A and B are shown apart, each in its own frame.
Chain A
Amino acid sequence: MEKNLEDIFQDKIDREIRIEPKDWMPEKYRQTLIRQISQHAHSEIVGMLPEGNWITRAPSLRRKSILLAKVQDEAGHGLYLYSAAETLGITRDEMYEQLHSGRAKYSSIFNYPTLSWADMGAIGWLVDGAAIMNQVPLCRASFGPYARAMVRVCKEESFHQRQGFEILLTLSRGNEAQKNMAQDALNRWWWPSIMMFGPTDDESPNTIQSMRWKIKRFTNDELRQKFVDICADQVKILGLTLPDKDLTWNETRGHYDFGPINWDEFWQVVSGNGPCNRDRLNARKKAWEDGAWVREAASAYAEKKKSEQKVA
């Protein structure tokens, strides 16, 4: 019987039929998705912090509005994704607990600090750009609620990415200090951004199964290459450079070659030793703990109203 269910499941996957919350699914598929979707949700929420850091200091009212709207969008993305994960039988509180205890991860990129206004541009262009590269294929992921969430997320993300590029473009056409600010931001965000695609294919043990289940459609290295190719061209419009002396067009491959990634740094950041890991997690924990009495008051009030209604 078990075998049969698995066959039916895999057959649906192969025929591109979406898996929905009430459908039978292998436990490993469920767990993989819970892990991936919740970590994705956590990334949106932790990702509010590096950009939120500049809301009160944005240099014009227009930029301030855009940034505020963007960070708000990220909170919304977090909500969609937590809801999608909840359809797999885990609660938002359980997911928070995993985040706060350090058992669940979030994207390594958000452990880097935002040191200048230009970082808002670099994050928009590079970080959101890398996110889109990862997320567009997820709009076709086999699990329905995840795929549908990604469709909505990607629409907003691509808007954010264009805004980020526009910030860099404005800076690159500005005065000398602004140009330097933009270049400095690219220097700091480039490598962490291409690390967002995760370990190389031979170091990524979950990839084969995820591709068989059509959660993943492309490998880490395929997506990373696509991203490098696009950025290497776009950076020319900015009149800035990417901090990689090995970045060169390879005619035979039809791709850009690029230099070695510092995987030691990547694993350090993933395991908690990036520049901002502690600050980010502490900020999330503080918000949650400081908000406990608010959530308790809201439940107590709702209970009161419910019992009043019963009496009446």
Chain B
Amino acid sequence: MADQITDTTKSRLIHYATHLGDNALILGHRNSEWCGHGPVLEQDIAISNIALDLLGQARNFYQYAAELTGNGATEDTLAYLRDVPDFKNTLIAELPNGDWAQTVLRQFFFSAYQYYLYRQLQKSGDAQLAAIAEKAWKEVSYHLRWSSEWVIRLGDGTEESHERMNRALDLLWTYTGDMFIPEAYETEVFAVDPARVKADWEQKIKQVLEEATLTVPENTWTQSGGKKGIHSEHLGYILAEMQFLQRAYPGAAW
């Protein structure tokens, strides 16, 4: 396929696959920080499991982007040798874990986004993107169920958990819009209609927050820029930590 498409399409495809990989890698990295520190063993396993799924998705997207790029690019050069402005993940993925409420709500917002996005992407005319989305969608369905249940449990749990969910909601809400502002590399016809993803997402969020006795914030202001490579201050630290060995020992095999 790569041989027959125009250079613009190819470049957009590389950007798009990299962006999807970045989303998965960065949120996977955040979730992996919980490993060994979760509130209860079963949930320690669950959040690490989600991290591992996301890492797997990142690898799939990166491998495809690297194959299209050529020039010796690999999943690891993409993950370890790009700097902050080159990363195109949506902002919400890079936000700190905070408490369990913040982590769970971030996961819910993001999983709902991935769920509707991948559902459409499976019908993409690009066979490789469609195949990756098909595999990933099964995992994301699990992530969405898990995070929805936790949002409900904490929202409708104790006074304290309800309060913590409200605080998380207040913090995270302004970062949700970033997911739905399409960049040029997304608008190429990969069979995804961002407006529909957004509509489906909003409906799901409303339904789950309602069941969790939480209120959808009225604030419509949105922080954005992640998809353009303009990030929060958090991403630089993530990369410094993640990339240190590759940077300290260039060219080594691990």
Chain A residues proximal to chain B, CB less than 8 Å: 45, 48-49, 52, 55-65, 68-69, 71-72, 75-76, 78-79, 82, 117, 167, 170-171, 174-175, 177-178, 283, 286-287, 290-298, 300-301, 304
Contact = CB atoms under 8 A, between A and B. Distances in A.
A68 B35 CA distance: 8
30 contacts: A45-B36, A52-B37, A55-B35, A59-B80, A59-B246, A59-B254, A60-B246, A61-B62, A61-B75, A68-B35, A68-B51, A170-B253, A174-B252, A175-B249, A175-B252, A178-B252, A287-B37, A287-B39, A287-B44, A291-B40, A291-B100, A293-B158, A294-B43, A296-B160, A296-B161, A297-B158, A297-B161, A298-B153, A298-B157, A301-B156
B183 interface: no
A129 to B, nearest CB: 21
A55 B44 CA distance: 14
A52 B154 contact: no
A48 B41 CA distance: 11
A174 B254 CA distance: 8
Interface of B is mostly: helix
A142 B156 CA distance: 46
Contacts of A55: 32-33, 35
Given A57-B241, A64-B55, A294 B45 contact: no
Contacts of A291: 38-40, 100
A300 B245 contact: no
B99 A290 contact: yes
Count chain A CB atoms within 10 A of each CB in B52, B80, B156, B238 and give the residue with the most: B52
A293 B160 contact: yes
B223 interface: no
A120 to B, nearest CB: 10
A75 B254 contact: no
A174 B245 CA distance: 14
A61 B25 CA distance: 9
B222 to A, nearest CB: 28
Given A48-B35, A69-B52, A57 B245 contact: yes
Given A61-B76, A290-B99, A117 B245 contact: yes
Contacts of B111: none
Query: Most chain-A CB neighbours within 10 Å: which of B49, B153, B241?
Result: B153
Contact of A290 (B39, B42, B52, B245): B39
Given A48-B36, A75-B44, A301 B49 contact: no
Contacts of A300: 157-158, 161
A298 to B, nearest CB: 6
B164 A293 contact: yes
Contact of B249 (A72, A79, A178, A304): A178
Contact of A61 (B38, B58, B157, B164): B58
Contact of B161 (A48, A65, A117, A294): A294
B29 interface: yes
B42 A79 contact: yes
